[in-house]
Amino acid sequence: MRHLTIPLLLLPLLACETPPEPGTFEPVNGSCAYINGFSDALECKEYLGEGWTLQAIEDDCEQAIVNAEVGTFTRDFPCETETHIGICWLDSDTETPSRIVFAEAEEDACSGAKLGCDFAQGEFEAASVCVGAD
């Protein structure tokens, strides 16, 4: 019986999953569209993964970000990403990951979007229009 003790002790460690890489979170529980009060640009935040409750999403959307108007929440619907300059991945290693889609399509907004993402302590993923832009 002694030989089974070590493998049984390791079993809970094997059951732990590492967080998925950005871009692989399911489900999209909803999105919150708002105007950023600093850039006056449209942004959209998606609430990803199974850790979000509906109440937590609604509360977060009401707060949006500092200096922003209250957002508009759409349940079970992702942000539009057809034209955007980048995505800011937030809290990727938690049970409540989210991402902000910077909806501006102009290249001159790239550095501001990256700066905003850095300020939010997120990981910026540049869209093709911003790749190589400073």
Between 122 and 104, whose confidence is greater? 122
Q: Kindly report the average pLDDT of the chain as a whole number.
A: 80
Q: Is the pLDDT of residue 3 over 60?
A: no
Is residue 101 within 8 A of residue 84, CB to CB? The reply is yes
Phi, psi of 53 (to 5 degrees): -100, 160
Per-domain residue ranges of the chain: 22-126
Q: Which residues contact 3 (CB under 8 A, 6 or more apart)?
A: none
What is the DSSP code (8-state) at residue 92? T
Determine the pLDDT at residue 13: 36
pLDDT in tens, 39-96: 888 899 999 999 999 999 999 998 866 667 789 999 999 998 888 999 999 999 999 9
pLDDT for position 73: 94
